[in-house]
Amino acid sequence: MTVPVRRLWAAVLCGYLAFGAALQALPTYVPERYGGGALASGTAVGIAFLATALGRPFAGWLADGGWSRPVVLLGGALTAAGGVGQLVAPNLAVLLIARLVMGAGEAALFSAALPWVLAGTRVAQRGRVAGWFGLSMWGGLAGGPVIASLVGEWVWWTIVGLAGLSMVLVLSTRADPARAEPLVRIRRIRDLVPVGVPLPGATIGLAAYCYGTIAALLVLRLRDDGIGADGYALAVFAAAFLVVRFAGSPLVDRYGGRAVAAWTVTIEVVALTGLALADAAVTALVFTGLAGLGLALIYPSCVSMTLDRVRGLRPGVSMGVMTSFWDLGVMAAGPLGGLVAEQLGFPAAFFVAAGTGTACVLVCLVFLRPRPATSPR
């Protein structure tokens, strides 16, 4: 049965454009409407990733059992509901609930769509296809802030419209994916966390803290410290990210996920250190672009390492759990980075993120040595 890959790619892209647009809007929307500083804004940005992290393994589990289509459709609906909730929230507490709803929607969208796509892919091509399909998610996260900057005060209605378009695209698919195997009963943690996933997960989680710091605090750092360029810095990050992602993905197949992750995250450490020290708009934009370069290949690198270690078995759960580590890293960066920024200043928050990136490189070099994969039991 033919898998509607292009429509699924577009559906996930629309959902994550909505999610990325919210990331751009929240750092200023929260203080202006509800009060509070970096801690409140960082929490609003990061809390959605908690729901995303918790939801991904279950979305992947349902998808592996043949329930991709309804779960992807639910993801679009939850994303739209979360956008409406953020638009009309009367206080910060309700806004945070709406953020959780949107985060759950993003988990369902991607983590159920990816196994649907992989079900129609030869095993030998699954790593490459997973990396390509991941562009729908990362392209949305990178392009969403650009859309938010362009539409201005209409950002929340745009978010709702993008989520609605995602639902329409899924509804236009006529057939459910074929159910390849029955749902695995969840009796223990290993049923949701296959052997071979935690180390690549830790790698992407530590790198995610770097991204979360940029998403939650870069705009505030440039604005509050009088550097400037706060209106389009995330667009520069997005442009560098997307260019390197398109052009550099073959490097993962050529040199391996471990080597590419170690080298590129080293570049990210340099970029975050530069952002901590920057005192002019041009300097800040150069290091922002470098930060986009440094994070562009971490996802395909970790996809490659994960699939190698689990031998492509139960791809929905494996990819869902691995990507959940990313969500947890971004979630932690919002409130923790905001707290450090309020207590010690924005440069300190970026130095902490650089330290986290250094830990990511060490995990790659010390713990992720090539070894035969162990099949889930």
The whole-number pLDDT of residue 373 equals 43
The whole-number pLDDT of residue 81 equals 95
Domains and CATH numbers, the chain: 5-173+191-367 (1.20.1250.20)
Rounded to whole angstroms, the Cα distance separating 136 from 127 reads: 15
Q: What is the amino acid identity at position 242?
A: L
Residue 283's nearest CA partner among 214, 241, 227, 351 is 227
Q: What is the DSSP letter of 178?
A: P
Percent over 90 (pLDDT), the chain: 40
The residue among 230 and 314 whose pLDDT is bigger is 230
Region 88-105 average pLDDT:
94
pLDDT tens-digit readout, 24-55? 888 888 988 888 777 888 888 888 888 988 88
Rounded to whole angstroms, the Cα distance separating 73 from 69 reads: 6
Region 200-222 average pLDDT:
91
pLDDT tens-digit readout, 220-270? 889 888 888 887 888 889 889 888 887 887 788 788 888 999 999 999 999
